[in-house]
Amino acid sequence: MSEYKLIDLRQRPDLKEEAAKWFHEKWKVPAEAYLECMDAYLKKETEYGWYLCMDEVKIVAGNGVIENDFHDRKDLHPNICAVYTEEEYRNKGIAGELLNMTVEDLRSKGISPVYLVTDHIGFYERYGWEFYSMAQGDGEDHLTRVYIHR
C-alpha cells in the first residue's frame, strides 16, 4: 500500500467538501448529512471521525463513524459507516487498512467496542470483526447483519 496514503480528515480538513460529495455519490445520503458529521468531528464536538485513502490527490476509499447507521439497534454504537472502495482499488487491502485505522483511532480515544451493519458475509471477519446480531434497517423490509469489533 505504499503508493496510497491513509488519512484522518483532521489531517486534511481541506478535503471536507470533496469527501462529503464523494460519500454522497457512493451512498446517496445527502452531502449535507456528511458535512454535518464532518464539521462536528473537525470542531472536536465528537471523536467519531472520517477516514480516507488517497491515491495522490484522488479519494479512492473511505469510511466514517456515526452514532447509528440507520437501524433499530440504537444500543449498539458507535457504527462505522459508509465503507467504500473504488472498484479499481479493491482487493488491495485498502478497506481492511482503513477499518483497522478507524478501530485503532477510536480505541486510542477510549471508544470500544465498535459496530457496523452490512449484508456482506466473510469480508469483515478477515479484519477481526465478529457477527453480533441482526437489526432492522430504517425503511427496509429485511434484517441486516450487525458486526462488532472489540
- Give the pLDDT confidence of 116-129 residue by residue, as tens digits: 999 999 999 999 99
Q: What is the dihedral of CA 4, 2, 44, 35, to 10 degrees?
A: 10
Tell me the β-bridge partners of 114.
Answer: 149
Mean predicted lDDT score pLDDT of the chain = 96
pLDDT tens per residue across span 46-95: 999 999 999 999 999 999 999 999 999 999 999 999 999 999 999 999 99
The pLDDT value given to residue 1: 45
Residue that is written with C-alpha cell 467519531 in the block: 48
Provide the residue ranges of all domains of the chain, joining segments of one domain with +: 5-149
Q: Where do runs of H (alpha helix) occur along the chain?
A: 16-27, 31-42, 94-108
Nearest Cα residue to 101 out of 147, 145, 149: 149
Which grid cell is 128? 477481526
C-beta of residue 41 within 8 angstroms of C-beta of residue 50 = yes
CATH architecture assignment, domain 5-149: 3-Layer(aba) Sandwich (3.40)
